[in-house]
Structure 1
Amino acid sequence: MTITSGKKKQKIDRLAELAARDDERGVSLWQEAFRRLRRNPAAIVGAVILALFVVVAVVGPFLVPYSPTDTIGIRDGLIKPGVIPGIDGDHWLGLDHQGRDEFSRLVVGARQTLLVGVVSTLIGLAVGALIGGVAGAAAGLGGRWGRWIDSTLMRFIDMMLAMPSLLLAVSIAALLGASLTTVMIAVGVVSVPVFARLLRGSMISQANSDYVLAATSLGVRKPKIALTHVVPNSLAPVIVQATLTLATAIIEAAALSFLGLGNPDTSVPEWGVMLADAQQYLDIRPGLAVYPALGIIITALGFTLLGEAMREALDPKLRK
């Protein structure tokens, strides 16, 4: 019993020593969040899915066995009325209705999907953060004129929120004309209100913190307080939202392409366009619709899992 008690005491003393060292060093918010993410199975699954997606999108187009625009099946006489060849040794996912290798198109299409998702999210993040940052700084630190600026900007954001996101994206895409750039702009504009509202709310919350009061009492100018203290401390929820928005951006971009508002050149592989083209051949080759649909679903799931895990790790109210 004495030996066992001695071992327990040594273990407790060791743990206390390690805890004391951690307290002395201090751990930042992001370091603590990263520790929690490493222990979260959902975060690990999401990160693995996204890593595979990025590798396929970046490296895959250089390794595909066929050109995504090469009509092999028509040239070799494999495509006939009512007949689309399926999976074989040369074509891992078969051919599409134009005789093009489906596997090559799926891999190359991943790059287009990643490009649209990232660029559209960056557009929404940049514009939304600008509007939300100005509104949050004005509301929290700007006095009477600041409240007027905040109210004006937020009424504009409310007008955007009043429209369904997909309807707004379709309207913008229809006005600008069908193209890949149009899809990026349309999806990016749809996400602007989310980032603006989130950053504004976070900045207003931070504006009431003790460090802002201390900086103000020391004579630090309010614009400097907003830029150097309030904004950096308000970015964590915005970054988490950007990860979640990537998932919806990919789905909305695919929806616009499915509706014919994406790249007018359907020979360029993109998962939404591939899904739209496959609708006419569901009775012959349902796999032509299944493959891009699975790609969209799995990729969106990866971003969602990682984003939710990041939100849980960064938000004290949601930590386990």
Structure 2
Amino acid sequence: MSLISTDKAKLDRLAELTAKTETSSGAGLWREALKRLRGSKMALIGAAIIAVFVVVAVVGPWLAPYGPTDQTWRGEVFPNQGKFVGPRADNWFGLDHLGRDTFSRFLEGARQTLLVGVVSMLIGLVLGALVGALSGACATLGGRAGRRIDDVIMRVTDILLALPSLLLAVSVAAVLGQSLTTVMIAVGVVQIPVFARLLRGSMLAQGGTDYVLAARSLGIRKRRIVLTQILPNSLSPVIVQATLSLATAIIEAAALSYLGLGNPDPAVPEWGVMLSQAQRFFDNAPMMSVFPAVGIIITALGFTLLGEAMREALDPKLRG
């Protein structure tokens, strides 16, 4: 009995050392990636754009010179006659057809756009990671029954991936009804199969590595192998995809708002809603659509640049 206990203690110690080695190597990977990001112009430009966007979204409403629904200028109520006022000293982006300050609405709309993008990305990330982790665990260490569960999950995921993302988002939004929460849920649902497929593939790649085979030969429980070794080392591509998905989420959320599926209150500024309202007056006042469109494009560009830089920094094939 003492000999068996001694052998078991040695195996547990060896398993702990294996886990620590993998953890330290993972930390080293992230330190190296951060060092590469600091030297990447693409990452710095993307981070600068995102920083400006976040600052505008957080403190913009307090920096706005006027309220987003104010229609009074120089003591007089602006007449609702579809007239427009171009950029001037009092109103940097001019006034819209209702006499509201476009610059103030642009700053307030940045907060709504950031809220929709982040929440929808988190919905897709959390639910997609749960589905992908379950599927990857079943496929890696679940045996025959686990592989059957993995097949069912992946077939459903493939069906969702086969549908155009915007069409799927519109369908979900149409079922749930018109609201800002609906936009978040609809865009988040579109992201679920992307994260699920990505995490599952990463876990399958990690399942065949030497440290997993060593852990299995030591008799470590499958659940512990998945939770402490395979899953933590499979999250790098998912984190990169989350950054890229923010850009996609902002564009798709703006598209849903543009189609009239967003916030039912048109007085609440949001870049997609502002773009939709400006469509009717594009011939007379094209600048109304330029400002929200440029905001959406530049913000999406910032997240895309940072995401691509992170992907290159974490890709072992691209590291020197």
Aligned residues: 296
**Alignment map for 1:1-320 (pairs within 5 Å):** 28-72=28-72, 76-79=76-79, 81=81, 83-319=83-319
Name the SS for the 2:301 alignment partner: helix
Partner of 2:15: none
Runs of 4+ in 1 over 4 A off after TM superposition: 77-80
Is the CA contact (8 Å cut-off) linking 1:83 and 1:284 kept in structure 2?
Answer: no
Q: Partners in 2 of 1:273 and 1:75 — Cα distance? A: 28
Query: What TM-score, normalized by structure 2, do the two folds share?
Result: 0.90
How far apart are residue 79 of structure 1 and its match?
4.3
Is the CA contact (8 Å cut-off) linking 1:73 and 1:98 kept in structure 2?
Answer: no
List per-residue Cα deviations over 1:227-265 (Å, max 9, x = no partner). 111100000000000000000000000000000000000
Name the SS for the 1:132 alignment partner: helix
**Alignment-mate amino acid for residue 124 of structure 1:** G
Q: Partners in 1 of 2:246 and 2:318 — Cα distance? A: 22
Is the CA contact (8 Å cut-off) linking 1:72 and 1:101 kept in structure 2?
Answer: no
In structure 2, list runs of 5 or more residues that go unmatched.
1-23
- Identity value in percent: 67
- Cα–Cα, structure 1 residues 74 and 123, in superposed 2: closer, same or farther, change >3 Å? farther
**Alignment-mate amino acid for residue 247 of structure 1:** A
**Alignment-mate amino acid for residue 154 of structure 2:** M
Is the CA contact (8 Å cut-off) linking 2:81 and 2:98 kept in structure 1?
Answer: no
List per-residue Cα deviations over 1:250-307 (Å, max 9, x = no partner). 0000000000000000100000000000011112211100000000000000000000
Query: What TM-score, normalized by structure 1, do the two folds share?
Result: 0.90
How far apart are residue 179 of structure 1 and its match?
0.3
Q: Partners in 2 of 1:92 and 1:34 — Cα distance? A: 39
Q: Partners in 1 of 2:39 and 2:61 — Cα distance? A: 34
Is the CA contact (8 Å cut-off) linking 2:79 and 2:98 kept in structure 1?
Answer: yes
How far apart are residue 81 of structure 1 and its match?
3.8
In structure 1, list runs of 5 or more residues that go unmatched.
1-24
Q: Partners in 1 of 2:103 and 2:53 — Cα distance? A: 14
**Alignment-mate amino acid for residue 316 of structure 1:** P
Is the CA contact (8 Å cut-off) linking 2:128 and 2:194 kept in structure 1?
Answer: yes
Aligned-residue RMSD, C-alpha: 1.6
- Cα–Cα, structure 1 residues 79 and 281, in superposed 2: closer, same or farther, change >3 Å? farther
Q: Partners in 1 of 2:170 and 2:215 — Cα distance? A: 46
